[in-house]
Chains A and B, each alone.
Chain A
Amino acid sequence: MAQQTNVTDFLILIIGTLTTVLTVSGVIFFAFIFQRKLYRKQAEFREIEKLLKKEELQSAYALIEGRESERKRIAEDLHDNLGSLLATLKIYIDTLRNQEVKHEEKQLLTNDQSDIYSISLYKDNRTALIQKIHSLVEAAARETRRISHDLDSGLLQYGGFQAAIEQLIEAINNSQKLFIETVIDITDPLDDELSLNVYRIIQELFANTLKHAHATKVRIEITQIPREYISIIFEDNGKGFNSEQVKKGIGLQHIYSRVERFYGHVTIDSSSEFGSTFIIEIPFNHPFSV
């Protein structure tokens, strides 16, 4: 009997001790796995941060690249158009000066004021040259205005964002390459930095559609939720594209970098059947907002 009690006591002691030890070990075990999960999560966060930093750098590079290509385009514009106009102008002015010198020398040598035919020819040539110089100066002035307009989107500055967009759309509509349906609902004025960037984004969207989409119709909707965000919905009926493959194209990168700069986001839905849809939302509480 006493032996049976001893066995029961021993069993109780074993079970009791085991339960206590296992419970305390269980608490320690959970504390350990909680810590491990936390460390794992922290490591994941660090990895994500690293990736974000890399993405941010890529966006910054794309932005710099965008500026570089814009500068290059302006330099090419200056060189090819304005430069060649000025070079031609210089040639005409030199010719005019040479003719004047030759005419004066001839007059001094011959001292003949009566060569009416020669004087008349000289005068005709001179008038023609001056006429050419005049039209070249006009062309140069026009070209300067165009480049200047391209540089700071003058209308954007003076006429406001909506007027600039409307003019851009009118210009594309006039080219008869696209039929554009427009909805613009902007109630509050946008700040300069944001409006210039949104304008450039829309320019890039149209450029991409014109260059690659082979679309005939575009619908653009620009709406503003006051003090919250501006939304651009751009739809075309073109041949669509694989957004994953084209993502790295410079045109799209410019759009992404401009949008990301303002902490906005871009959603692209594209198919060969229904064309492409870009939904861009840019919040107003970005670091550039005042």
Chain B
Amino acid sequence: MPVYHLLAFIELVFLPFFYYKLLSAKPIYLYGLGVLILFNFLHTLLTGDLYKFNQVAWSINALVFIILGFVYYYQLYEQSEPILVEKHPMFFINAGILVYASGSFFTYLLGWEILSKEASGIFHNAWIIQSFSNVAKNIIIAYGLWLSRQM
């Protein structure tokens, strides 16, 4: 479980940094990121157990990533030059992140249920949702990266 905390922390640093490079409203963004990291940190501290699933904080993180993804799409839409979606690598990379974030959000909501191994029925294998979204993300991002090499 502590490894998962590390993974979540890396995700929390890497993805917002990625959007920091993409988005134009940088000062507001930096404050938001600060609040998010502080919230994650405090949440982990308050629960006081590295072996406990940080369900609320991670769900909020995933939700924030979804919002950031759509803010980026909105920014793309607002720019004066229209984009050719099928040839725009960042459109696909962002789509991959959105798919992954939505799958993660679903899984993190169920986090404790799954880890407690008390989940039954449809939620018994709920990690599959995140795994699928992760695979979809990787395929979509790979396509986006391939496109960026073509340009």
Residues on A facing B (Cβ under 8 Å): 9, 12-13, 15-17, 19-20, 22-24, 26-27, 30-31, 33-35, 37-38, 40-41
Interface residue B58 (Cβ < 8 Å from any Cβ of A): no
A54 vs B20: C-alpha distance when bound (angstroms): 46
Q: Main secondary structure on chain B at its contact with chain A?
A: helix
Beta-carbon contact of B110 and A16 below 8 Å: yes
Tell me whether A38 and B83 are in contact in the complex, defined as CB-CB below 8 angstroms, given that A26-B98, A30-B77 are known contacts. Answer: yes
18 inter-chain pairs at a CB distance below 8 angstroms, sorted by A residue, are A12-B113, A13-B122, A16-B109, A19-B66, A20-B133, A23-B69, A23-B98, A24-B99, A24-B102, A26-B73, A27-B73, A27-B95, A27-B98, A27-B99, A34-B85, A35-B85, A38-B82, A41-B82
Tell me whether A9 and B103 are in contact in the complex, defined as CB-CB below 8 angstroms, given that A34-B83, A34-B91, A35-B85 are known contacts. Answer: no
Interface residue B147 (Cβ < 8 Å from any Cβ of A): no
A31 vs B98: C-alpha distance when bound (angstroms): 13
Q: In the complex, how many angstroms separate the beta carbon of A17 from the nearest chain B beta carbon?
A: 7
Interface residue B53 (Cβ < 8 Å from any Cβ of A): no
The 9 A-B residue pairs with the shortest CB-CB distance in the complex, in nearest-first order: A16-B106, A23-B102, A38-B82, A30-B73, A20-B102, A37-B82, A41-B82, A27-B95, A34-B85
Interface residue B127 (Cβ < 8 Å from any Cβ of A): no
Beta-carbon contact of B102 and A15 below 8 Å: no
A15 vs B106: C-alpha distance when bound (angstroms): 8
Residues on B facing A (Cβ under 8 Å): 63, 66, 69-70, 73, 76-77, 82-85, 91, 95, 98-99, 101-103, 105-106, 109-110, 113, 122-123, 129, 133
Beta-carbon contact of B113 and A9 below 8 Å: yes
Q: In the complex, how many angstroms separate the beta carbon of A24 from the nearest chain B beta carbon?
A: 7
Q: Main secondary structure on chain A at its contact with chain B?
A: helix
- List, in ascending order, chain B residues with CB within 8 A of A30's CB: 70, 73, 76-77, 91
Q: In the complex, how many angstroms separate the beta carbon of B53 from the nearest chain A beta carbon?
A: 14
A9 vs B112: C-alpha distance when bound (angstroms): 12
Tell me whether A38 and B105 are in contact in the complex, defined as CB-CB below 8 angstroms, given that A12-B110, A31-B91 are known contacts. Answer: no
Q: In the complex, how many angstroms separate the beta carbon of B135 from the nearest chain A beta carbon?
A: 14
- List, in ascending order, chain B residues with CB within 8 A of A23's CB: 66, 69, 98-99, 101-102
- List, in ascending order, chain A residues with CB within 8 A of B77's CB: 30, 33-34, 37
Closest chain A residue to B62, Cβ basis: A19
Closest chain A residue to B123, Cβ basis: A9
Quick one: which of B70, B102, B110, B133 has the most chain A CB within 10 A? Answer: B102
Closest chain A residue to B65, Cβ basis: A23
Q: In the complex, how many angstroms separate the beta carbon of A48 from the nearest chain B beta carbon?
A: 15
- List, in ascending order, chain B residues with CB within 8 A of A16's CB: 105-106, 109-110, 129
